[in-house]
A and B are shown apart, each in its own frame.
Chain A
Amino acid sequence: MSDQAATPLSRQRRFVTPVAGETLEGLAARALPDTAPAEAADGIRSWNLHIFAMRQPRGLLLCSDVVFVEPPLG
């Protein structure tokens, strides 16, 4: 199995999952440490409409969430 598991995977959109109690700002700082905080938070908000537009209550972060940390791949 280990040999098989080493089979390379094609590049897909990067994501993280929130840790308990994490805010959008905290997640943005963790996932995008080299980006200005406000810009990082705005980016994550815009790349994750399933959390920040479609969810009630809007923006509720769950530890099971997939949170994309980059825009859709071209």
Chain B
Amino acid sequence: MYDVIIRNGLVVDGDGAAGFHADVAIRDGRIAEVGEISSDARQVIDATGRVVAPGFIDPHTHFDAQLLWDGQARPALEHGVTCVIPGNCSLSLAPLRAADRPAVVGMFQQIEEMPAEAFTERFAKWTWEDFGGYCRTIGEGLGINVAPLVGHSLIRLWVMGAASQERPATPDEVKAMQVLLRRCLDEGAIGLSTSFVDVDATGRPVPSRFADCAELDALCAVLGEAQDGRMLQVVPEFYASDLTIARIDQLAELSLKHAIPTTFSPVFDSNVAPESAPRILARVEEQFARGARVWPQMQTRPIDITFSLLNPSLYLVRVPSWFSTLRQPLEKRLAALADPEIVRRLIADAGSDGGDAIFGGLVIRGGDRAPADYVGRTLRDVAGERGEGVAQALFSISMANGLDVAFLAANGGHDDTSRIGPMLAHPLVHVGASDGGAHLASFATYGDTGYLFSEFVRASGHFTLEEAVKKITADTADIWGIKDRGRLKPGLAADVVVFDPKRIARDAEKPAHDVPGGGLRYVRASIGIEAVLVNGAVAYADGAYTEARTGEICGSSMARVA
């Protein structure tokens, strides 16, 4: 008697081999058997006409905070994601002394656009300081598997305090960081993340950027000690290919010296500079030929960004004075917008064309108080009708409607399937960079896996079904050293997705007010996902989440400890 049998599905096992019709049996959270199975089970799932695949693994997320109030990382789970890697870009929520929490919350606010309320609402639960304490806290209600990175900025902040954002570390401080990193790895971290671009709430570079080469080298030496593939994740200066290539070369040297894998994200395809991404991939090929492991992460979805003056997003960074003025706390923002002189200056800063080049193409997408007759039209069109400049119209419409008018920049790039398809299919390109759980009011970070199938399997044919499954299961597990997941093989963890290959996709982006404190985020539901099993338990089926809380902390260290 098995716990679960999934019958009559097309098994796509993650290795890239042709799918085959078989049953999959599960016992004690593990795949027990794959084949024609006559035994009974307590629960039977009919997968006739459906694909049965390993659970998808998302390697670039920021679910660190969300996992405190939502152990299923919704809606990632319903898209078939059964394992997430948070703690990217030098930021995690441990190790962190209580006194330093506000500073780190500010970094998450600034970089990942997460409202402070999402953290403060949960302060009562914030009892840990060490990495193991964080893992234990989220582990209490986990419905999805988590392989967390530890952030370099947190390591620095713990050891150096305020000096972490002022100077390089002394040799003794570097040694203390090595000891701390070693402990975090023992307590569940799958690797280390760092950043070369991010800034904190005041605009100052985050702590990791004050490290010198010797410090990062020393930390990578610790990653290499375990000799089991502990990852270094990096966010480089992704906006410039020369800078990204320089970082690739640095990562390659660290990879070769310490025998560690490294990964960087994101790599975007640019319509303005279409040669950039291929140049980056060419350098990656050269470094792999030397034996280095420098995995570039590329997202599947096109870039779009939404903002309102109520929920100002990173889009405003295009005009520095707008960014600094309109990203202030609401009370200060309202005071600024009530000052005609400040508004006049902001409009002037938008450009001599009245802001047309930067904001004219924005589409008014809604918001609770958006005028109905404006929704779906470009700001340029509406401004012309009102007899105003574009920036002036943006302010006047917003201010007349409680700032709650959302504008969509739908043409952010990374949207040419004919170029992106072959790059995603490149054997060295790692599908990732979803940013799951971050940029809440800018765009939905869910459904990239569905989009891989709808756009690059069914629409463009750049992938076969089996290649697409492999890319986001076995490949990801191998790159990250997650040894017991990513494949449907007896003995491995029973993370399973059952989906309709003709329908799997992401649904339309929609606003939701489900962030603690009533905050806004954009989400996408899944289409065509019929069941998701996490460690053998059905966590999502027939369009609904279950009460199963069978997720695990599953970093390589935990597998080793087990």
Interface of A toward B, CB cutoff 8 Å: 1, 4-7, 9-10, 12-13, 15, 17, 19-20, 50, 55-56, 60, 62-64, 66, 68, 72
Contacts and interface: CB of A to CB of B under 8 A. Distances in A.
A17 B213 CA distance: 8
A4 B212 contact: no
Contacts of B205: 55, 60, 62
B256 A1 contact: yes
Interface string B264-292: 00000000000000000011001101111
B206 to A, nearest CB: 10
A72 B249 CA distance: 17
Given A5-B291, A50-B237, A64 B210 contact: yes
18 contacts: A1-B256, A1-B291, A9-B286, A12-B246, A12-B249, A12-B283, A13-B242, A17-B213, A55-B205, A63-B212, A64-B196, A64-B213, A64-B216, A66-B196, A66-B246, A68-B242, A68-B246, A72-B242
Interface residues of B, number: 33
A60 B204 CA distance: 10
B349 to A, nearest CB: 16
Given A1-B259, A10-B282, A62-B209, 13 more contacts: A1-B256, A4-B290, A5-B256, A7-B290, A10-B286, A12-B242, A12-B246, A17-B212, A55-B205, A64-B196, A64-B210, A64-B211, A64-B213
A15 B246 contact: yes
B243 A4 contact: no
A59 B50 CA distance: 57
A10 B282 CA distance: 10
Contacts of B216: 64
B300 to A, nearest CB: 27
Given A20-B212, A63-B168, A13 B286 contact: no
Contacts, number: 69
A20 B167 contact: yes
Given A13-B246, A62-B205, A66-B243, A7 B286 contact: yes
**Most A CB within 10 A of own CB, among B203, B204, B212, B249:** B212
A6 B204 CA distance: 39
B148 to A, nearest CB: 23
Nearest to B212: A63
Interface string B178-206: 00000000000000000010010001110
B445 interface: no
A64 B212 contact: yes
Interface string B233-252: 00001001011011101100
**Most B CB within 10 A of own CB, among A10, A20, A66:** A66
B208 interface: yes
B80 to A, nearest CB: 36
Contacts of A55: 205
Contacts of B292: 5
A9 B209 contact: no
Contacts of A66: 196, 237, 243, 246-247, 250
Contacts of B211: 63-64
Nearest to B239: A50
Contacts of A64: 196, 208-213, 216
Contacts of B237: 50, 66
A42 to B, nearest CB: 19
B461 to A, nearest CB: 32
A20 B167 CA distance: 8
**Most A CB within 10 A of own CB, among B203, B246, B286, B287:** B246
A48 to B, nearest CB: 9
A17 B247 CA distance: 11
Contacts of A17: 212-213
A7 B242 contact: no
A55 B203 CA distance: 9
Contacts of B247: 66
A63 B168 CA distance: 7
A5 B286 CA distance: 10
A13 B286 CA distance: 15
**Most A CB within 10 A of own CB, among B213, B216, B256, B291:** B291
A4 B242 contact: no
Nearest to B236: A66
Nearest to A4: B291
A66 to B, nearest CB: 4
The 3 A-B residue pairs with the shortest CB-CB distance in the complex, in nearest-first order? A4-B291, A63-B212, A66-B246
A72 B286 CA distance: 20
Nearest to A8: B286
